[in-house]
């Protein structure tokens, strides 16, 4: 069945891709999801399994792991085909209008429409730029938090100044003996309320300095901080170092498909249509005026793209699916 043609193929199995797959079933489209990682969840599962999310309506708080579990369960409602471990690189259109997607391993997928839900692309964490830092990976140098409890009662240093670093400082401050956050710049770039919470806590905030050296044999015993302006150095004893410097991003061959882009993102209209008819995009990879850069915003983009794909396939189709409360899958007969 390798040449089986799908109505829509969603590239990306993160939270936005999963919800888009669910809505595709609502619109009774034959659906395939292709994910590069060996599991669903994308960046959330890979980097933020225990991070608490609070910006999705009607969900006061939820961990990244639980969010993905629920989205995966929801996506499976209409039994989409799931493909893992493949990075889609090439796109071509057959004479009959069908798209042919070719993965990095040579596998080919046939589809009538495409929805890109690839987030920022293939993710690679930005490593700490300190000689010998790789020696401490696997001991007490961390680039992600897999178990929050592992930091209980410890002195945790966090290097970074964005949302992730600030969020972890606030979360770990509740269980760690001490939290020190180090940022190269004078000001942080996260959400205002989170920054205020951090400053009001007992977190030791150190701006205008950076981690310049690590001291220890099997694990980090001390960290050397260097002041950006004066060059003054200071040694601090720590139990764990968490680095949140962002990601190296790569969308692979997709960047050569010929879509209109701006500053590395795919430009769409308000219907999530790219400059290639029949190819749509949602989530962090897209840009358009006043885009809401929250998971909640991406969750709304998925159905918009699906409705556009449905109209592309059938111009006479309804503009949107019926409400789930009226859908035959959920109404008891």
Q: How far apart are CA 298 and CA 268, in angstroms?
A: 13
State how beta strands 222-227 and 209-215 pair.
antiparallel
Can 5-123+247-326 and 127-243 be said to share one CATH topology? Answer: yes
Domain residue ranges of the chain, discontinuous segments joined by +: 5-123+247-326, 127-243
Specify the CATH class of 5-123+247-326 in words: alpha beta
Residue 97 phi, psi (nearest 5):
95, -10
Reported pTM: 0.74
Q: How far apart are CA 6 and CA 108, in angstroms?
A: 12
Please name every residue paired with 83 in a beta bridge, in sequence order, or none if there are none. 34
**What is the separation, in whole angstroms, between the first and last Cα of the chain?**
34
CA distances from residue 241 to 97, 223, 224, 228, 248 in whole angstroms, order as listed: 52, 9, 12, 20, 20
CATH architecture assigned to 127-243: 3-Layer(bba) Sandwich (3.50)
pLDDT tens series, the chain, 333 aa: 568 999 999 999 999 999 999 999 999 999 999 999 889 998 888 777 888 899 899 999 999 999 999 999 999 999 999 999 999 999 999 999 999 999 999 999 999 999 999 998 766 788 999 999 999 998 999 998 888 999 999 999 999 999 889 999 999 999 999 999 999 999 999 889 999 999 999 999 999 999 999 999 999 999 999 999 999 999 999 999 999 998 776 788 999 999 999 988 999 999 999 999 999 999 999 999 999 999 999 999 999 999 999 999 999 998 887 677 777 777 654
Q: How far apart are CA 322 and CA 305, in angstroms?
A: 16
């Amino acid at each position: 069945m390798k040449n089986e043609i799908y109505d829509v193929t969603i590239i990306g199995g993160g939270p936005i891709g999963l919800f888009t797959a669910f809505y595709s079933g609502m619109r009774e489209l034959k659906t395939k999801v292709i994910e590069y990682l060996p599991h669903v969840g994308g960046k959330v599962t890979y980097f933020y399994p225990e991070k608490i999310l609070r910006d999705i309506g009607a969900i006061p708080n939820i961990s990244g792991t639980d969010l993905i579990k629920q989205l995966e369960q929801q996506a499976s409602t209409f039994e989409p085909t799931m493909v893992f471990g493949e990075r889609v690189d090439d796109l071509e259109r057959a004479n009959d209008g069908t798209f042919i997607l070719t993965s990095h391993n040579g596998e080919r997928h046939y589809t009538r429409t495409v929805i890109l839900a690839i987030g920022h692309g293939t993710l690679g964490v930005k490593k700490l730029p300190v000689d010998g830092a790789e020696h401490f990976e696997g001991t007490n140098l961390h680039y992600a938090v897999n178990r929050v409890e592992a930091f209980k009662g410890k002195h945790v240093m966090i290097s970074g100044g964005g949302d992730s670093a600030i969020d972890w400082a606030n979360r770990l401050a509740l269980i760690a003996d001490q939290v020190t956050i180090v940022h190269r710049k004078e000001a942080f770039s996260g959400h205002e309320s989170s920054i205020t919470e951090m400053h009001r806590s007992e977190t030791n905030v150190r701006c205008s300095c950076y981690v310049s050296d690590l001291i220890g044999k099997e694990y980090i015993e001390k960290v050397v901080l260097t002041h950006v302006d004066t060059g003054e150095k200071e040694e601090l004893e720590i139990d764990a170092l968490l680095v949140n410097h962002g990601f190296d991003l790569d969308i692979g061959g997709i960047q050569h498909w010929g879509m209109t882009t701006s500053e590395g993102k795919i430009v769409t209209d308000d219907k999530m249509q790219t400059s290639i008819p029949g190819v749509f995009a949602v989530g962090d990879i897209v840009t358009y005026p006043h885009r809401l850069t929250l998971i909640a915003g991406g969750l709304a983009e998925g159905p918009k793209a699906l409705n556009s794909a449905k109209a592309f396939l059938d111009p006479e189709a309804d503009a949107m699916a019926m409400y789930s409360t009226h859908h035959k899958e959920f109404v008891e007969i």
